[in-house]
């Protein structure tokens, strides 16, 4: 789904990048800033090529070692 959502980095040790529709939920779980995100997302993560992309921002690694698209990287950079 590519509807309006909110991106944030969570408070966990790995500082995971998430995307949620509900601003209040994002605010509760965010380590810091929250930004608007208009890309495709599902189940709390950005979706790339039809699959959720789980990114650990603490070490900038994707869970399944997939590459991180520039637009997702830009969102992460905006949150740092």
CA atoms of 21 and 37, how far apart (whole Å): 9
- What is the reported pLDDT for 4? 85
Higher pLDDT, 2 or 11: 11
- pTM metric for this prediction: 0.94
- What stretches of the chain show up as alpha helix (H) in DSSP? 23-29, 70-79
Backbone angles phi, psi at 27, to 5 degrees: -60, -40
Average model confidence (pLDDT) across the chain: 95
Tens digits of residue pLDDT in 28-50:
999 999 999 999 999 999 999 99
Residue 55 contacts residue 36 (beta carbons within 8 Å): no
């Amino acid at each position: 789904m590519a509807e309006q959502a909110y991106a944030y980095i969570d408070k966990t040790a790995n500082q995971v990048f998430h995307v949620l529709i509900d601003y209040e939920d994002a605010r509760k779980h965010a380590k810091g800033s929250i930004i608007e995100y208009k890309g495709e997302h599902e189940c709390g993560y950005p979706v790339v090529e039809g699959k959720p992309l789980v990114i650990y921002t603490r070490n900038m690694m994707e869970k399944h070692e997939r590459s991180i698209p520039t637009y997702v990287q830009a969102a992460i950079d905006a949150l740092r």
